[in-house]
Amino acid sequence: MQGYHLAELNVGRLVAPMDDPRVAEFVDNIDRINGLGKRMPGFVWMMEGSGSPGNLENAIGGDAQFVPNLSVWESVEQLETFVWGTLHKQFYERRAEWFEVLGEMHFVMWWVPEGHRPTLDEALARLEHLNTHGDSDHAFGWAHLKEARQWQGNRCAPVAAE
Domain-by-domain residue ranges, the chain?
4-154
Residue 3 CA, distance from chain mean position: 22
Handedness of CA 146, 149, 152, 156 (dihedral sign): negative
User: Looking at residue 161, what is its pLDDT?
Assistant: 36
SS3 63: strand
Question: Tens digit of pLDDT for each residue in 89-99?
Answer: 999 999 999 99
Architecture of domain 4-154: 2-Layer Sandwich (3.30)
pTM of the full predicted structure? 0.87
Q: How far apart are CA 4 and CA 7, in angstroms?
A: 9
- With a cut of 50, list the residues of the chain below it in pLDDT: 156-162
96 pairs with which residues across the strands? none
Amino acid at 29: N
Count the Cβ atoms, other than its own, within 10 Å of residue 91.
Answer: 18
User: Looking at residue 57, what is its pLDDT?
Assistant: 63
Residue 31 CA, distance from chain mean position: 15
CB 85 within 8 Å of CB 150? yes
Amino acid at 21: P
User: Looking at residue 55, what is its pLDDT?
Assistant: 55
User: Looking at residue 63, what is its pLDDT?
Assistant: 87
Q: What does the longest C-alpha to C-alpha distance in the chain come to? A: 45
